[in-house]
């Protein structure tokens, strides 16, 4: 995963660690795209807005993951997009995956099955790896927008 | 295109490609099953059983006690059995579905090609057809109504509750449960107890080793004096007019070939047996009878039995059943207690036929008949479907492979009243009721022991036993009969229909004892000279000998019997096989430079206990002794270890038997001992080898298997555990009748098949240590599920 992120992070993004938004690159896709980028830029530069967006993204991702594993991709993408840069976005994605798994483990524990769950070997590892991996993958969207 | 655009495109491709790849590739199967929250494998991990459920049959309640035993209570029977169906499905739905798939030949549909041989066998035997025939006898009976209510309960649970983990692992959903599925469960257990291809094996042995060797190594009667019924008395009926019966020899024109290799995989597991005994009030401290039972069946996760305690206004019964069967099979009710062991009766026969060149017709009593033929498609997961041709003759299904063909008659392939009998047991009010119900138990052939509150005791052989004749003479069932000539066929038997049973042993002529003082069964020979041929594949007498030794000793002492003594008998680990051989083995060792081993056996009490080194060496030695004696010649004849004679035969072969080679028996014993000692690690004891680790889940996923606890017992001890084949005491029960608070029991595992349940394996340690829990018929635990009449919510 680190190879992917390092290989796809351009110097310019790294240098914009202060949250400076990326300006429109001249793509003729129009005003909507520009508006989205402006909104994202505002969220990324405003600490409160960013945290709110991170929380909302995580909540939306969890809700979606309840019905389909696409929810981990979505959640990862949302928290990634709200992050200031790709590296932080990736961290946020991994964080969301871990959070999602922790909430799941809590649900299993509340149903009385935590001990059994922790003894499941490969299935346990899969159930950790899936949310973390998918969320990290989704968070790479930060490198697109 | 600038660098930034390229970078964005690349990242977008990675994200999009990952999402699409996850959706379309085989990875999707893993994601769909194992992703937290939505994964089908986790449905049961975070879900709790519903607390309120509507029932079309009226109000009921289910509680669970500290060991996960379901206690169900209702006003009426149908409401009760709806609740029972719901509870069984909540605890064992996957096991129920797996078992019916096995019996219907639908396993490949969910596990793939590896189950094709099994499916083909079960389809060709048409167990499903036999189950359907049973339903004819249930129409308009209270038992039929109870089975329907039970099925509805199972389906209500199937719809409302999260499916167990195993459905997620295999990625399928179960079909609705039907009354025919319940009948299939009856067939499954009956096949597991009586479905033997020994006749075919004996034919092969006679061809390979010769008739004399077959007679010597597989005697029709083992030479011992511990049958179940030890003496003729007014209360014992075994019959004495055995004059017209004879043992038939193998026909010697059946080799078996690929046919036997195939079907031999699906006969009853080796070593299946049981212990039970009943002691009258004359022998007990309380003056009330005691019943004890521990059936030795396949041990697995979850257990073969499901425990439940049921109550209506009329009935109070607690005990175990097979998941998928509504009624308590072994247990205790308000009036008495009962238990079963396998009788070892021969209720399966085989027939060969003259067929025409095309193989479409067979000759029967002078005329050509078409095989009753049907094409059947077996669905295969991730593979091509397989079409098999199901053929039947007048005798039953025809099994064929690579040019070999036999017709099969088995009593389970016709309609039976067994469900009605088992249902009536729960309601029985004493011995007369129990006997009347036993009369209806057409299958399987079992030794039943019973005692009631009035002090009556009872032993009876259940099940229909066929009488075969050749030339008008009653014969044993130990050859492949000439089906074209109508040889050895069963009068009144209608495969896949309703039989009249006229050519079967009458109920009154089956071995039985009314009001025995005490009587013990351990699958040994039932009687020395029964009126009719019953069977010849009885267990070795070791457990039976030890059981009667303990009961006799106590009966002749000043100490009356009590429940504590019964528990000691049930967990007794003294091996009569070891007692029979250890002195001789010590002598063989001493003269051959193995003095330490000789001392080990001389100092040993012949108990198969976990801390004993001698027990471990003895078990390993006997395995080698078998190989030393039979290995070379059997291998040369193409007979694997499953064909070895039983251990009693080996133990009693004379010193100069040719099977020991030129050096004789003692030398063979010593050679085997050297090999065994090389195999056993220094300091190792029996408990290092004899653990519950052999009790596994059918999936082979390590986390689903039970933990490995050291335990006592062996194949030849009353405390029965056969680690090699994972067979043993599948339920232990001691019931002092009329003192219900003292009844105790234990399961080898847990009552729940749900991996995430606290009761998945919570009794395993108790079982391994020979301990018990209460089997009181008082309702216990908090209400877990309330069933409300439809429309009340």
Residue A137 with chain B: CB contacts under 8 Å: 14-15, 18-19
- Residue B676's closest CA among B726, B727, B626, B634? B626
Q: pLDDT value at position A37?
A: 78
Statement: residue B242 has pLDDT above 60:
no
How many percent of chain B have pLDDT more than 90?
83
pLDDT in tens, B643-693: 999 999 999 999 999 999 999 999 999 999 999 999 999 999 999 999 999
**Looking at the predicted structure, is the pLDDT value of residue B533 above 80?**
yes
Of the listed ranges A26-40, B319-333, B734-748, the least confidently predicted one is: A26-40
CB-CB: which of B15, B36, B39 is closest to A140?
B15
Coil/strand/helix, residue A63: helix
Q: Quick one: pLDDT at residue B243?
A: 46
Pairing of strands B348-352, B273-279: unpaired
CB–CB contact B757 A72 (8 Å): no
pLDDT surpassing 80 at residue A50 = yes
Is the confidence at residue B274, as pLDDT, over 90?
yes
Contact A144 B5 (CB under 8 A): no
Per residue in B692-729, pLDDT (tens digit) is 999 999 988 899 999 999 999 999 999 999 999 999 99
Q: Is the pLDDT of residue A16 over 70?
A: no
Mean pLDDT throughout B364-386? 95
With cut-offs at 50, 70 and 90, classify the pLDDT of residue A26: very low
Q: Could you tell me which of B254, B209, B201, B262 has the C-alpha nearest to residue B635?
A: B209
pTM, 2 dp: 0.91
Is residue A2 over pLDDT 60? no
Q: Tell me, what's the pLDDT at B719?
A: 98
Query: What local confidence, expressed as pLDDT, does residue B571 receive?
Result: 96
Q: Does the distance separating the beta carbons of A116 and B7 come in below 8 Å? A: no
Terminal Cα distance for chain A, rounded = 19
Band the pLDDT of B251: cuts 50, 70, 90: low
Q: How far is B23 from chain A (nearest CA, A)?
A: 9
Which range (B154-168, B219-233, B284-298, B463-477) has the least confidence? B219-233
Residue B279: the pLDDT is 98
Is pLDDT above 50 for B118?
yes
| Smallest CA–CA distance from B168 into chain A, residue | A123
Identity of the residue in B2, B36, B703 whose CB atom sits nearest the CB atom of A131? B36
Residue B3, chain A, CB below 8 Å: the answer is yes
Per the CB < 8 Å rule, is A112 touching B47?
A: no
Q: What is the pLDDT of residue A36?
A: 76
Sign of CA dihedral B227, B230, B231, B233: negative
Flag if B756 and A108 touch (Cβ within 8 Å).
Answer: yes
Q: What is the pLDDT of residue B792?
A: 63
Minimal CA separation from A110 to chain B, in Å: 8
As a whole-number percent, the residues of chain B with pLDDT over 70 amount to 97
Q: What's the confidence (pLDDT) of residue B397?
A: 98
- Over chain B, what is the mean pLDDT? 93
760-789 of B, contacting A, C-beta below 8 A: 760
Q: What is the mean pLDDT of residues B155-180?
A: 94
Extract the tokens encoding A101: 């798994």
Q: CB distance B38–A65 less than 8 Å?
A: yes
Confidence of residue A25 (pLDDT cuts 50, 70, 90): very low
Helix/strand/coil for A93: helix
Q: Is B270 a residue whose pLDDT tops 50?
A: yes
Read off the pLDDT of residues B742-783 as tens digits, 9 standing for 90 and up.
999 999 999 999 999 999 999 999 999 999 999 999 999 999
Residues A8-37, mean pLDDT to the nearest whole number: 51
| Contact assessment for residue B269 and residue B557, using Cβ atoms and an 8 Å cutoff | no
| Buried residues in B618-654 as b, exposed as e (16+ CB within 10 A) | bbbbbbbbbbbbbeeebeebebeeebbbbbbbbeebe
pLDDT of residue A30: 60
Tell if the CB–CB gap between A126 and B45 is shorter than 8 Å.
Answer: no
| Digit-coded pLDDT (tens) for B178-225 | 999 999 999 999 999 999 999 999 889 988 998 889 889 999 889 898
Give the mean pLDDT of B151-156. 98
Q: Quick one: pLDDT at residue B29?
A: 84
Tens digits of residue pLDDT in B3-53: 778 877 888 888 888 878 777 777 888 899 999 999 988 988 887 767 899
Question: What long-range pairs does B330-334 form, CB within 8 A, spacing at least 24?
Answer: B330/B293, B330/B295, B330/B305, B330/B731, B330/B733, B331/B733, B332/B291, B332/B733, B332/B735, B332/B737, B332/B740, B332/B743, B332/B775, B332/B777, B333/B425, B333/B426, B333/B427, B333/B428, B333/B777, B334/B429, B334/B777
What is the DSSP annotation of B438-484?
HHT--SS-EEEEEEETTS-EEEEE-S--B-EEETTEEE-S-SEEEGG
Chain A interface with B: residues with Cβ < 8 Å: 4, 8, 10, 12, 25, 62, 65-73, 77, 100-101, 104, 107-108, 110-113, 116-117, 119-121, 123, 126-127, 130-131, 134, 137-138, 140-141, 143-144
CB of B417 within 8 A of CB of B423? Answer: no
Q: Report which of residues A97 and B739 the model is more confident about.
A: A97
CA B65 to chain centre: 27
């Amino acid at each position: 995963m680190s190879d992917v992120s390092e290989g796809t992070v351009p110097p310019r993004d790294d240098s914009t660690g202060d949250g400076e938004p990326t300006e429109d690159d001249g793509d003729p896709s129009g005003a909507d795209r520009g508006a989205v980028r402006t909104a994202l830029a505002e969220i990324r530069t405003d600490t409160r807005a960013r945290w709110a967006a991170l929380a909302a993204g995580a909540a939306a991702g969890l809700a979606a993951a309840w019905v389909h594993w696409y929810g981990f991709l979505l959640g990862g993408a949302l928290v990634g997009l709200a992050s200031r840069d790709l590296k932080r976005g990736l961290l946020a994605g991994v964080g969301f995956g871990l959070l999602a798994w922790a909430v799941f483990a809590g649900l299993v524990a509340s149903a009385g099955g935590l001990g059994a769950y922790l003894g499941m070997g490969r299935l346990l590892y899969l159930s950790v790896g899936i949310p973390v991996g998918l969320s990290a993958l989704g968070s790479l969207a930060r490198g697109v927008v | 295109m600038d660098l930034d655009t390229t970078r964005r495109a690349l990242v977008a491709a990675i994200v999009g490609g990952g999402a699409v790849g996850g959706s379309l590739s085989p990875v999707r199967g893993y994601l769909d099953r194992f992703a937290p929250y939505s994964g089908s494998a986790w449905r049961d991990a975070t879900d709790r059983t519903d607390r309120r459920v509507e029932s079309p049959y009226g109000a009921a309640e289910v509680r669970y006690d500290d060991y996960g035993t379901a206690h169900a209570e209702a006003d009426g029977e149908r409401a009760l059995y709806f609740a029972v169906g719901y509870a069984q499905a909540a605890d064992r739905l996957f096991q129920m579905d797996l078992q019916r798939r096995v019996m219907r030949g639908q396993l490949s549909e969910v596990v793939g090609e590896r189950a094709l041989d099994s499916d083909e066998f079960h389809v060709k035997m048409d167990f499903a057809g036999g189950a359907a025939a049973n339903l004819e006898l249930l129409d308009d009976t209270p038992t039929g109504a109870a089975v329907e209510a039970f099925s509805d309960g199972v389906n209500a649970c199937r719809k409302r509750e999260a499916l167990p983990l195993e459905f997620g692992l295999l990625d399928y959903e179960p079909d609705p449960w039907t009354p025919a599925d319940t009948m299939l469960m009856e067939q499954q257990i009956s096949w597991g107890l009586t479905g033997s291809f020994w006749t075919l094996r004996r034919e092969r042995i006679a061809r390979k080793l010769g008739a004399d060797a077959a007679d010597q190594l597989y005697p029709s009667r083992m030479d011992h004096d511990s049958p179940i019924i030890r003496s003729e008395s007014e209360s014992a009926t075994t019959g004495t007019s055995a004059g017209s019966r004879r043992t038939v020899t193998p026909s010697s024109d059946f080799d078996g070939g690929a046919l036997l290799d195939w079907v031999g995989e699906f006969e009853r597991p080796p070593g299946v047996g049981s212990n039970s005994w009943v002691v009258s009030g004359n022998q007990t401290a309380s003056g009330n009878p005691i019943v004890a039972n521990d059936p030795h069946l396949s041990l697995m996760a979850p257990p073969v039995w499901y425990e439940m305690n049921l109550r209506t206004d009329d009935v109070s019964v607690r005990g175990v059943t097979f998941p998928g069967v509504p009624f308590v099979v072994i247990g205790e009710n308000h009036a008495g207690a009962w238990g079963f062991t396998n009788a070892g009766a021969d209720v399966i026969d085989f027939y060969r036929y003259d067929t025409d060149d095309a193989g479409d017709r067979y000759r029967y009593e002078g005329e050509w008949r078409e095989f009753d033929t049907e094409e059947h498609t077996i669905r295969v997961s991730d593979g091509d479907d397989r079409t098999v041709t199901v053929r039947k003759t007048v005798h039953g299904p025809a099994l064929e492979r690579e040019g070999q063909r036999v017709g099969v008659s088995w009593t389970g392939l016709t309609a039976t009243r067994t469900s009605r009998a088992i249902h009536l047991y729960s309601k029985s009010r004493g011995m007369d009721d129990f006997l009347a119900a036993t009369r209806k138990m057409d299958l399987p052939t079992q030794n039943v022991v019973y005692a009631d509150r009035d002090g009556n005791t009872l032993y009876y052989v259940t099940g229909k036993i066929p009488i075969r004749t050749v030339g008008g003479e009653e014969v044993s069932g130990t050859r492949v009969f000439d089906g074209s000539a109508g040889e050895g066929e069963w009068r009144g038997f209608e495969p896949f229909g309703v039989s009249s049973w006229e050519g079967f042993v009458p109920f009154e002529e089956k071995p039985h004892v009314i009001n025995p003082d005490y009587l013990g069964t351990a699958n040994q020979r039932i009687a020395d000279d029964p009126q009719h041929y019953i069977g010849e594949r009885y267990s070795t007498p070791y457990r039976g000998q030890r059981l009667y030794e303990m009961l006799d000793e106590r009966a002749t002492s000043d100490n009356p019997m009590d429940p504590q003594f019964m528990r000691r008998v049930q967990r007794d680990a003294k091996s009569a096989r070891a007692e029979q051989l250890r002195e001789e083995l010590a002598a063989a060792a001493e003269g051959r430079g193995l003095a330490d081993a000789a001392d080990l056996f001389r100092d040993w009490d012949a108990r198969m206990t976990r801390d004993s080194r001698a027990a471990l060496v003895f078990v390993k030695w006997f395995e080698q002794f078998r190989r030393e004696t039979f290995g070379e010649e059997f291998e040369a004849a193409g007979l694997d270890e499953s064909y070895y004679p039983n251990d009693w035969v080996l133990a009693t072969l004379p010193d100069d038997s040719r099977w020991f080679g030129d050096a004789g028996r003692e030398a063979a014993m010593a050679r085997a001992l050297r090999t065994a000692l090389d195999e056993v690690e220094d300091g190792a004891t029996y408990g290092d080898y004899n653990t519950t680790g052999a009790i596994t889940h059918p999936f082979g996923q390590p986390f689903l298997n039970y933990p490995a606890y050291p335990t006592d017992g062996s194949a030849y001890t009353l405390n029965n555990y056969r680690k090699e084949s994972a067979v043993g005491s599948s339920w232990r029960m001691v019931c002092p009748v009329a003192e219900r608070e003292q009844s105790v029991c234990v399961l080898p595992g847990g009552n729940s098949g749900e991996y995430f349940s606290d009761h998945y394996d919570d009794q395993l340690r108790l079982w391994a240590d020979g301990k018990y829990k209460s089997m009181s018929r008082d309702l216990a635990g908090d209400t877990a599920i309330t069933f409300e009449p439809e429309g009340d919510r």
